[in-house]
Amino acid sequence: MRAVGIVAEYNPFHNGHAYQIAQAKKITNADAAVVVMSGNFVQRGLPAVFDKWQRTRLALVGGADLVYELPFAFAVQPAHLFARGAVELLVSAGVTNIAFGAEHAQLDFLALARTARQTLNRNEAFKNDYTQTYATVFNDVLADVTGKRLSTPNDLLGFAYAMAVLDLGYDDKVRLFPIQRKGASYHQTGITDTHIASATALRVLMEKKATLSEFANYVSEPAAQLLTAGDQTKSWDEAWYPFLQYKVLTTPVSQLEQIYQLNDGLAYRLNEQITRYTRVDYETFMTMFKSKRYTWARLQRTNLYTLLNVRHDEMMQALQHPYLRVLGATRQGRLFIKQTRDQVELPVINRVTHDMVTDILKLDYRAGKLYELMAKQPMQQAMDTGRIPVFYE
């Protein structure tokens, strides 16, 4: 059985994503699309507009056949760690063809990565310094050795996937298939296409409380229903930020320094800013907290780590122990799992046990509980315990 892998957040799932899945299956002649999807929090450190179960169902309705969760330890990270975790999971699941959207699909991303890799691997700042953006660090090197710069979001991720393939030693068995992005650009907030809108634009429409008919051209009917209802969780500045303030104000700096990436004086800076500017709103706080050294996205992730009390040692352990958690599958997806079962070496999780939430799923369980706590309406089911994969025919 031939499968194609896709890495996604689906925040939210829209027609552009359905198009990508259809094209990925077509160009690879795949029988199934296997998706590795972020859980309840996306790469920028923000809660997804809908929880992982709702987004899984929308993905299956839209053409995906099997959805695995990208663990929190990889999902809320800079591009190179996000990509590395996703690629490792796809290959471990038995996928050797990986498709992704790109603004410049004509580029040979593996060739670019091969050319730049030696220099990048020698660059200790790239490997160990989280104070610069992934794009800034590698683009400086990439321009020097290839004369090319990548500046658009999907191209950057495409390069990250290619680097991950090389770093993991998969280049002899994995093929990458860039798919030309159609319609709105990644960050485009307006809508110019009659059929495809970016996830950003849809989130803007959702904030404006758009009607069902306004979403109808760009998403499936189930997605339109959810989007009309609005975000599943309370807004960060109104609900999450006070918890962050409380956490920082009641925690000694020495303990804050144990939190992942709150190093090199950043814990002291966080404490100082929140202590001094207690009455300002979240956007004002972030504007003051941000600097040339630390981007908004980097600090947003750090704020989430702080809320979740993710220690450095916990993150390192989680990064070293990936797993395959099945969120949902179609009949084709279940057939793929059955046919590849003997090849999979990573732990495969279908149902969460008590032992898992205190061990391999510790960070994801904690993140799920925080998402539940911040939900606008009480959730009828727990985010992790007692849940089984979504099955869609």
For 75, residues 6+ apart whose C-beta sits below 8 A from its C-beta are 38, 39, 41, 42, 43, 82, 85
Interhelix angle 79-92/153-167, rounded to 10 degrees, is 60
Q: Are 362 and 353 within 8 A, CB to CB?
A: no
47 closest CA partner among 236, 247, 242: 236
Binding residues: 7-20, 101, 154, 181
Name the token pair of 347.
């732990």
Closest to 327 in 3D by CA, of 58, 129, 127: 58
Q: What are the strands, taking DSSP E only, across the chain?
A: 3-8, 32-38, 66-70, 97-102, 175-180, 324-329, 348-349, 390-391
First-to-last CA distance in the chain?
18
Binding-site positions for ATP read: 7-20, 101, 154, 181
Is residue 335 within 8 Å of residue 65, measured between CB atoms? no
Tell me the Ramachandran region of residue 148: left when phi exceeds 0, alpha when psi lies from -120 to 50, beta otherwise.
beta
